[in-house]
Amino acid sequence: MIRILVVDDHALLRRGLTVLLGGEADMEVVGEASDGEEGVRLAEELRPDVVLMDVSMPGMAGTEATRRIKARMPEVRVVGLSMHALDGTRETMLKAGADAYMIKDGPLEDLLSAVRGDNGP
């Protein structure tokens, strides 16, 4: 079972991801966070296999939260999520330590593959 933490400042998106991923036989959403600081705290507490990390959030952004999670728990996969495809955000998240980067309007199959570790950045 792949244990997932969803970090996004939009409650509707968090809930949607939780429902979608929870419907997969090999996935379980173990927590949700609304900002980077809460995401880091919950990652340390829950020790998920994967963190779905929104890039742009108020307070601590996803890039800094990713840096902190990867520094403390390098075994945790971080999948960056953003609405931005061409502004350098992907490269910034990968430099911060994200294992993969997904556009929020991309295909569900791509997100599932990223969570499972079936594809690279």
How do residues 34-65 score in pLDDT, each as one tens digit?
A: 999 999 999 999 999 999 999 989 899 999 99
At 22 the pLDDT is 93
Tens of pLDDT, residues 68-116 = 999 999 999 999 998 866 677 888 899 999 999 998 888 999 999 999 9
Does 119 have pLDDT greater than 80? no
At 65 the pLDDT is 97
Query: Which residue, 106, 107, 3, 7, is CA-closest to 57?
Result: 7
User: Which of 3.40.1410.10, 3.40.50.2300, 3.30.460.10, 3.40.50.1100 is the CATH number of 2-116?
Assistant: 3.40.50.2300
At 110 the pLDDT is 92
pLDDT-derived band at 120, boundaries 50, 70, 90: very low
Parse the chain into domains and list their residue ranges.
2-116
H/E stretch holding 29: strand 27-33
Query: Which residue, 9, 107, 91, 16, is CA-closest to 57?
Result: 9
Beta pairing, strands 100-103 & 77-82: parallel
State the DSSP string of 69-89. HHHH-TTSEEEEEES-SSSSH
Show the CA angle centred on residue 100, arms to residues 103 and 50, nearest 5°: 105
| Cβ-based neighbour number of residue 86 at 10 Å | 7
